[in-house]
């Protein structure tokens, strides 16, 4: 039963159509994860469903009597009041909820319930807002980036809560493990439309790959048939009147069809400055704030080309350590030395303050007009295009681009500095999944050191060789990715189910903490299962060698002549039909002969398409083998 009907809604920002005549529906029991590129309209769609923003046209209709809980990306907060009073404000006189509110606040590590809401950090405020929304026990939950500012333990808690939640859920998040665990449907927002997949994130990846493969196969078939038709049209100097009108029309129709368009993705090339032998050497550093010791006696020498992820609960000192590594903050005790060739690119957790009046291209040109890449010198404008900033967007003021696009722009600015050490503090916040996938691939080939702070278990499993965990004031290093660390440290309980195979979970099923097991999800390279493997063993599935059978090879060598003979026969038949137009006996015989011959010709043409497509794929496989051999 539909509980939300979205009927022909559109939204225009300036001259940019974000949502275009969009229609879809939400049924009872749906738990929908909404994904898409930054600026595609994900948050806009949620705000309109939640009633925070008007549509330009169309309407959104809710079933009667349903309550809605809404967590925007940037919630508003009162100027005064305690944390507890804020989260319980909409509970009215139901003081029995206070105990549940305190329990939920503790789960989200907001232990001082009487603290003034104004004293909280940005991340703490977002968690308080999440607690306030969950306490309403709404029929419909609409959550925009609820996993931002949640560490792994809080994310596990929220996963368990939403897995047991029996209402309708719509959420935007970049956390792919979270999507796999919680959702049973994916909406992909692209070019103003919504494409629905009845599956969790792993299932979405599989079905999208199948859909794209079908589109590519259809295009290969179209091209093959077009070549046959072109050969037929161009063959010899026969009179045009003898050619079949239907085939000429078919040729023109095939020629005018559009090829499937590949989705635009961020393009990144490996850039960097040469890295010398000496890297970053830390000797017995400690850091405290007041009476609180964040970490002490930490000694570590970063290896060349190392990929290391730092994890720990919020407030443990991860960002502080990144500031120290970047040279922006001194340790209280101990020493840190940087190699002479080091060039650090620091991507901070919070996007730097930008002059909203400045043009997008000038923001990048402030760092570099040109940059050297593996393919040569590339201008700032060209790099912006590769980061999905069109020429029109490049000359627009920063005020006109979305929060996610600003985050992507900031990332490009860091890379334009050609660093050989990348320090990334929560890089997955506000970046869309497509950008994250390309960033992960970029980091695989980056010729330098990568130091990452992240709560995104998928991202860490994908890129990290080593995990450094903050544990009660000390930092301990584990070999492997996030999954390996959770297993070795005893933090993982249970194991992740295959959301791709199951198509999601029953709304009321309890989850608990789980092990994000790389080997028990999907094929390598697709979804959380593939990404969970260590970088060194990350491989695409093996492909069976393609080849002709003996009979297919012989058939392939003669099929062009067979088709030509049938076409000649069809011309002879057409001539006989014209000659015997008044002899109904012979005319009937020739018409039957034409039907039989046409069927044979159609079958031969279909067979030619198959054999030609196979031949092209065999050649492509040989070429690929030659390049990698």
Provide DSSP, 605-616.
HHHHHHHHHHHH
115 is written with which tokens? 């603290």
> How high is the pLDDT of residue 242?
45
Contact 30, 185 (CB under 8 A): yes
| Helix 245-256 vs helix 201-234: crossing angle, to nearest 10 | 140
- 3-state class of 378 per DSSP? strand
Q: What is residue 616's DSSP assignment?
A: H
* 450 close to 308: Cβ distance less than 8 angstroms: yes
Please, which residues bridge with residue 22 across strands?
9
Q: Single out the residue of 16, 1, 52, 11 nearest to residue 400, CA to CA.
A: 16
Which parts of the chain sit beneath pLDDT 70?
92-96, 225-226, 228-272, 374-375, 491-545, 623-629
pLDDT value for 254: 56
pLDDT by residue (tens digit) across 524-580? Answer: 334 443 433 333 333 333 445 578 888 888 888 888 888 888 888 888 888 888 787
The torsion angles phi and psi of 262, rounded to 5 degrees, stand at -75, 145
Radius of gyration of the chain (CA): 30
Strand 16-27: give its sheet, edge to edge.
16-27, 2-13, 57-62
In contact, 66 and 4? CB cutoff 8 Å: no
Strand, coil or helix: what is 266? coil
Listed in sequence order, the DSSP H helices in 235-285 are 245-256
- Are 189 and 35 in contact by the 8 Å Cβ rule? The answer is yes
The rounded distance, in Å, linking the Cα atoms of 574 and 456 is 69
| Residue 464: predicted pLDDT | 93
Q: Report strand pairing: 307-311 vs 449-453.
A: parallel
pLDDT of residue 248: 56
The Cα angle at residue 209 between residues 204 and 213, in degrees rounded to 5: 150
C-alpha distances in Å from residue 342, one per residue of 107, 300, 415, 580 = 41, 17, 14, 89
Instruction: Kindly give, in sequence order, each residue whose CB lies less than 8 Å from that of residue 313, ignoring residues fewer than 6 positions away.
Output: 109, 151, 153, 470
> Do 455 and 153 touch, CB atoms closer than 8 A?
no
Q: What is the pLDDT of residues 403-462, one digit of tens each?
A: 888 988 999 899 888 899 999 999 988 788 888 887 888 888 888 999 999 988 899 999
The per-type count for the chain, helices as H runs and strands as E runs, is: 20, 20
Residue 366 corresponds to which tokens in the numbers above? 């402030």
Please state, in angstroms and rounded to a whole number, the distance separating the CA atoms of residues 483 and 485: 5
- Per-residue CA distances from 365 to 361, 362, 382 (Å): 6, 5, 12
Q: Do 193 and 20 touch, CB atoms closer than 8 A?
A: yes
pTM: 0.63
Residue 320, pLDDT score: 93
């Amino acid at each position: 039963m539909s509980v939300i009907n979205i009927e022909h809604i559109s939204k225009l920002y300036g001259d940019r159509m974000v949502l275009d005549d969009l229609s879809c529906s939400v049924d009872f029991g749906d738990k929908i994860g909404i994904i898409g590129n930054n600026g595609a309209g994900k948050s806009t769609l949620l705000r309109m469903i939640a009633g925070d923003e008007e549509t330009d046209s169309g309407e959104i209709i809710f079933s009667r009597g349903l309550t809605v809980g809404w967590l925007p990306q940037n919630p508003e907060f009162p100027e005064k009041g305690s944390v507890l009073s804020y989260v319980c404000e909409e509970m009215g006189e139901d003081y029995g909820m206070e105990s549940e509110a305190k329990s939920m606040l503790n789960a989200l590590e907001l232990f001082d319930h009487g603290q003034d809401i104004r004293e909280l950090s940005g991340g703490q405020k977002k968690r308080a807002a999440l607690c306030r929304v969950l306490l309403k026990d709404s029929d419909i939950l609409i959550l925009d980036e609820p996993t931002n500012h949640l560490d792994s333990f809080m994310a596990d808690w929220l996963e368990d809560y939403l897995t047991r939640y029996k209402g309708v859920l719509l959420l935007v998040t970049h956390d792919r493990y979270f999507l796999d665990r919680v959702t049973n449907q994916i909406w992909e927002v692209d070019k103003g439309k919504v494409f629905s997949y009845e599956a969790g994130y792993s299932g979405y990846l599989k079905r999208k790959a199948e859909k794209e493969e079908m589109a590519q196969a259809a295009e290969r078939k179209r091209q093959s048939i077009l070549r046959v038709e072109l050969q037929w049209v161009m063959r010899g100097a026969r009179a045009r009147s003898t050619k079949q009108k239907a085939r000429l029309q078919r040729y023109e129709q095939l020629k005018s069809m559009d090829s499937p368009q590949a989705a635009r993705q961020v393009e990144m090339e490996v850039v960097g400055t040469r890295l010398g032998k000496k890297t970053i050497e830390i000797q017995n550093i400690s850091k405290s704030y007041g009476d609180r010791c964040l970490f002490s006696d930490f000694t570590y020498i970063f290896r060349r080309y190392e990929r290391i992820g730092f994890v720990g609960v919020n407030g443990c000192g991860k960002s502080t350590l990144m500031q120290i590594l970047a040279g922006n903050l001194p340790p209280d005790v101990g020493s840190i030395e940087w190699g002479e060739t080091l060039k650090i690119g620091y991507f901070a957790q919070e996007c730097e303050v930008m002059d909203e009046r400045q043009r997008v291209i000038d923001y990048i040109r402030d760092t570099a007009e040109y940059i050297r890449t593996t393919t040569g010198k590339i201008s700032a404008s060209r790099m912006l295009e590769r980061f999905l900033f069109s020429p029109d967007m490049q000359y627009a003021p920063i005020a006109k681009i979305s929060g996610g696009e600003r985050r992507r722009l900031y990332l490009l600015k860091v890379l334009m500095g050609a660093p050989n050490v990348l320090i990334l503090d929560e890089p997955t916040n506000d970046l869309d999944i497509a950008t994250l996938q390309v960033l992960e691939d970029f980091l695989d080939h980056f010729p330098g050191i990568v130091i990452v702070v992240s709560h995104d278990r998928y991202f860490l499993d994908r890129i990290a060789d080593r995990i450094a965990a903050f544990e009660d004031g000390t930092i301990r290093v584990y070999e492997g990715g996030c999954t390996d660390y959770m297993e070795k440290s005893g933090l993982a309980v249970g194991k992740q189910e295959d959301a791709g195979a199951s198509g999601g979970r029953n709304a009321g099923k309890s989850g608990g903490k789980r092990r994000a097991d790389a080997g028990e999800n999907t094929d390598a390279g697709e979804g959380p299962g593939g990404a969970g493997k260590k970088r060194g063993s990350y491989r695409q599935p093996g492909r069976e060698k393609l080849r002709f059978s003996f009979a297919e090879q012989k058939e392939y060598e003669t099929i062009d002549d067979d088709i030509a003979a049938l076409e000649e026969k069809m011309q002879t038949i057409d001539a006989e039909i014209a000659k015997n137009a008044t002899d109904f006996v012979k005319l009937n015989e020739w018409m039957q002969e034409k039907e039989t011959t046409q069927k044979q010709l159609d079958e031969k043409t279909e067979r030619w398409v198959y054999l030609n497509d196979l031949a092209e794929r065999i050649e492509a496989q040989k070429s690929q083998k030659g390049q990698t051999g």
